[in-house]
Amino acid sequence: MTDAVGSIDTPDADDETAESKKKSRKGGKRGKKGPLGRLALFYRQIVAELRKVVWPTRSQLSTYTTVVIIFVVIMIGLVTVIDYGFQEAVKYVFG
């Protein structure tokens, strides 16, 4: 018994066999196009992927930017304090 989309256990009648799939893959799009054709295909794929991206709104972008800047400032302060501590420890030990 199969549902509307078919069953994993029983293959559809129009499915290709493994050997015919191997033969149809030979060459593919890359084999038929030159370097400029492949570059154009790559560019079209980039544009297609960028259209799928959910871009943030202006308010989300400003919020994310503010969070990143605050985090970086905190990390700069933390590294500065640790560096100063190591500097004083080295001065105490060596001289």
Q: What are phi and psi of 72, to 5 degrees?
A: -65, -40
**pLDDT for the residue 33:** 76
Mean pLDDT across the chain: 82
Q: Tokens representing 95?
A: 């001289």
What is the percent of the chain with per-residue pLDDT over 90, rounded to a whole number?
59
CA 90/CA 80 separation, integer angstroms: 15
For residues 30 and 38, is the Cβ–Cβ distance under 8 A?
yes
CA 57/CA 62 separation, integer angstroms: 9
Residue written as token pair 């001289």: 95
Residues 7-52 have pLDDT tens digits of: 555 555 555 555 555 555 555 555 567 889 999 999 999 999 999 9
User: What is the amino acid identity at position 48?
Assistant: A
